[in-house]
Amino acid sequence: APFEPPFLSLIASGGHTLIARVTDHGPDYEVLGQTLDDAAGEAFDKGARLLGLGYPGGPALERLASEGDPSAFRFPTAGRLAGLDFSFAGLKTALLYKVRDLGPETAERQRADLAAAYQRAIVESLAIRVERALSDTRLERLSIGGGVAANGALRARMAALGVELHVPPRELCTDNAAMIASAARFLDPRPYPEYLDLDVYATGERRLVVAR
């Protein structure tokens, strides 16, 4: 069956992190909580940079985290923050200090454990507030979107909440064009103009015309 409103939506990307109550496919939705500083995807990227990983940081950190022990270190999840707002700035700072305290050699040996613990803190920060929102709204459907929704640990944690979950395929989580096209489909239900049915063929041929 199609995934229809009402449902709770978690958007987690490099630029946004918010929870919204969706009552219609149109533009009207209620933001219940959002980040007070960094976005979740930004936290992944900054954490990856602190651990000397490449860009984009999210996938690189996730790969390294799969080799580590998430219980080896403990990082804050801002669990004491009231309401449904997020905060990731303190988490990033905690990783910075931990890397400094360990020293370069020890931090290098324990990079996978640091990545695993850091990733778990981000995922738990999101999960804590999603659980609160589900309880507050009594909704039993959840969608997650944005680049961070491609993270396997987050997908597994959301699946364990026991509600009906809708999550895009990983390859579409970071596809901004697909997101905009999907939004347009609901916002403007009119038939597509005829020119969209034209066949277009791209070739690698180039011609250089020199004016004489």
The mean per-residue pLDDT over the stretch 151-164 comes to 98
- Give the Cα-Cα-Cα angle 53, 126, 150 (nearest 5 degrees): 50
Q: For residue 125, which of 102, 170, 158 has the smallest C-alpha distance?
A: 158
Shortest CA distance to 4 belongs to which of 27, 28, 32, 23? 23
Instruction: State the average pLDDT over residues 45-51.
Output: 96
Given a contact cutoff of 8 angstroms between Cβ atoms, the answer to whether 50 and 57 are in contact is: no
Confidence of residue 193 (pLDDT cuts 50, 70, 90): low
Q: Report all structural domains of the chain as residue ranges with CATH numbers, in order of start.
A: 7-187 (3.30.420.40)
Model's pTM, two decimal places? Answer: 0.85
Per-residue pLDDT tens digits for 118-129: 999 999 999 999
Eight-class DSSP state of 195 = G
pLDDT tens for residues 56-92? 899 999 999 999 999 999 999 977 788 999 999 999 9
